[in-house]
Amino acid sequence: MKIGILTSGGDCPGLNAVIRGAVLNGVISHDAEFVGFRWGWKGVVEADIMPITRHDVRGLSKQGGTILGSSRTNPFEGEGGGPDNIQRTLDEHGIDAIIAIGGEGTLTAARRLHDEGGINVIGVPKTIDNDLAATDYSFGFDTAVEIATEAIDRLRTTADSHGRCMVLEVMGRHVGWIALHSGMAGGAHAILIPEQPQSIEQICEWVESVRGRGRAPLIVVAEGFTLDSMGEAHSHKGLDAFNRPRLGGISEQLAPIIEERTGIESRATVLGHIQRGGAPSAYDRVLATRLGMAAVTAVYDRAWGSMVTLRGTDIETVSIADATHSLNRVPQHRYDEAKILFG
Ligand SMILES: Nc1ncnc2c1ncn2[C@@H]1O[C@H](COP(=O)(O)OP(=O)(O)OP(=O)(O)O)[C@@H](O)[C@H]1O
Ligand SMILES: O=P(O)(O)OC[C@H]1O[C@](O)(CO)[C@@H](O)[C@@H]1O
Ligand SMILES: [Mg+2]
C-alpha cells in the first residue's frame, strides 16, 4: 500500500515520532510505501506531496516540530478541496490511505471526508492542550507540562528575591490541563483554568494569604481563563485562519489588577509557543511512536474513519466521531483536589 501522512493544526512535540513510528512499522511489517502531504490539508488540496523513506525518518523521534510542516487549511475549500477532488488527487498519485495527525479540528475534517466522501482516513490525536476526548493523554502534553513546570521553578526564585507576585500564563484554549498539572508540579498558590471562572476578590484573597505567610505568591493561569465578570476569554491578537479569536494576554490583564488591589508588586509572564517547541519528553516519544505504529496497523485493518488512542497503557482504536463529539475538560473533582493547596 501507499500511505500518505499529514500533520495539521498547531504543531506539537512528538509529531515527528509519530511519522517515524508509522514509517518504520509500515516498511518493516508490511513493505508499505509512504508519502507526506506538505503543510497539512494544504498538501492534500494542492497535491504538494513528498516521498518519505525509511532513511528520511532516521533519528526523528527526538526532533521537535514536524518535517512535513503544518497549517490550518480547510480541506473542503479551494480548487482541489472537497472529497471528490481529494479522491481524484489520491488516485492520480496511487495513494491508498491518509493518516491525519491533528487535533479536534483536523480530526473533524478527516471524519467528514470519510463520512461524506468515503476517503480512506485514519486519525492520530495530537494536542499539547490534552483536550481531546477518547484518549487518556495526547502526546505533547507531557512535554508542555515539563516546560511550564521549569518556568514555574525559575519564576519562583526571582519572585522570592523581590517579594513579588508572579502570574505565569500557559496555553489551554478550552481546557486547563497544562495549568493544572504544571501548577501542581511547581507548587503554584492558585491555578486558574477555563473550566473554573473565578472572581478577582477570590484571587486576591489567595495572594494575600500567601503574603501573610511571608511567601511570594505564584499563580498559573491558562490562556482561556475568564474572570467571572468577563463574557469570553481575553483576546487582542485578531483571528486565526479558521476565524477564531487568537488567545493570550490574560496574565497581563490580571497582574496589574492584583498589584492595585493587594499592593504586592506583580509581574506577568506569557510562556507562549516555547511550550510547543523543542524535543519531546521520553514519555511523549514513546506514546507518539506507538500511535504512529498503531495507525499503520489500522490502515491494514482497513479501519477507515477511526482514530488510534491511549486507554490506560494500551493503544486502541475508536471511531473519530466518538473522539470529536466532546472535549476532555478538567473534571470538578480534579480542580477541588488541587484547590486544597491554593492560598
Ligand atoms: N468542522 C470542520 N470541517 C472541516 N474542516 C474543519 C473543521 N474544523 C476544523 N477544520 C479544519 O481543520 C483545520 C485544523 O483545525 P484546528 O485549527 O482546530 O487545529 P486542530 O487540528 O484542532 O489542532 P489544534 O490543537 O492546534 O487546535 C482548521 O483550520 C480547519 O481548516
Ligand atoms: O498560535 P497558534 O499556532 O495559532 O495556536 C495557538 C493555539 O494552539 C494551541 O497551542 C493548541 O491548540 C492552543 O493552546 C493555542 O490557543
Ligand atoms: Mg483545534
pLDDT, residue 242, reads 80
Known binding residue 92? Answer is no
Task: Provide the number of structural domains found in the chain.
Answer: 2
Q: What dihedral do alpha carbons 20, 328, 233, 256 form, nearest 10°?
A: -80
Both 200 and 145 in one domain: the answer is yes
Known binding residue 223? Answer is yes
> Is pLDDT of 2 > 90?
yes
| Pairing of β 33-37 and β 49-52 | antiparallel
Both 222 and 294 in one domain: the answer is no
Q: In this predicted model, what pLDDT tens digit does every residue of 259-299 receive, in sequence order? A: 999 999 999 999 999 999 999 999 999 999 999 999 999 99
Please give the Cα distance from 132 to 116 (Å, whole number): 22
Residue labelled with grid coordinates 504512529: 292
Both 49 and 166 in one domain: the answer is no
Q: In this predicted model, what pLDDT tens digit does every residue of 297-315 receive, in sequence order? A: 999 999 999 999 999 999 9
- Give the pocket of ligand 2 (CB within 6 Å): 10, 103, 127-129, 171-173, 223, 240, 247, 276
pLDDT, residue 9, reads 95
Assigned C-alpha cell, 281: 519528553
Please give the Cα distance from 139 to 270 (Å, whole number): 22
3-state secondary structure of 14: coil
> Is pLDDT of 37 > 90?
yes
Across residues 15-20, what is the average pLDDT? Answer: 98
Both 251 and 261 in one domain: the answer is yes
Please name which ligand lies nearest the alpha carbon of 177: 2
**Residue 18: which domain range?**
2-140+280-323
In a domain, 342, yes or no: no
pLDDT, residue 231, reads 87
pLDDT, residue 240, reads 87
State which amino acid sits at residue 221: V
Both 201 and 286 in one domain: the answer is no
Catalytic residue flag (residue 11): no
> Is pLDDT of 241 > 90?
no
Q: In this predicted model, what pLDDT tens digit does every residue of 99-117 receive, in sequence order? A: 999 999 999 999 999 999 9
Q: Which of 164, 144, 145 is nearest to 155 (CA)?
A: 164
Assigned C-alpha cell, 151: 518556568
Please provide the average confidence, as pLDDT, over all residues in the chain.
Answer: 97
For residue 9, how far is its CA from the centre of ligand 1 (angstroms)?
6
ipTM over 0.85: yes
Both 66 and 146 in one domain: the answer is no
Across residues 27-39, what is the average pLDDT? Answer: 98
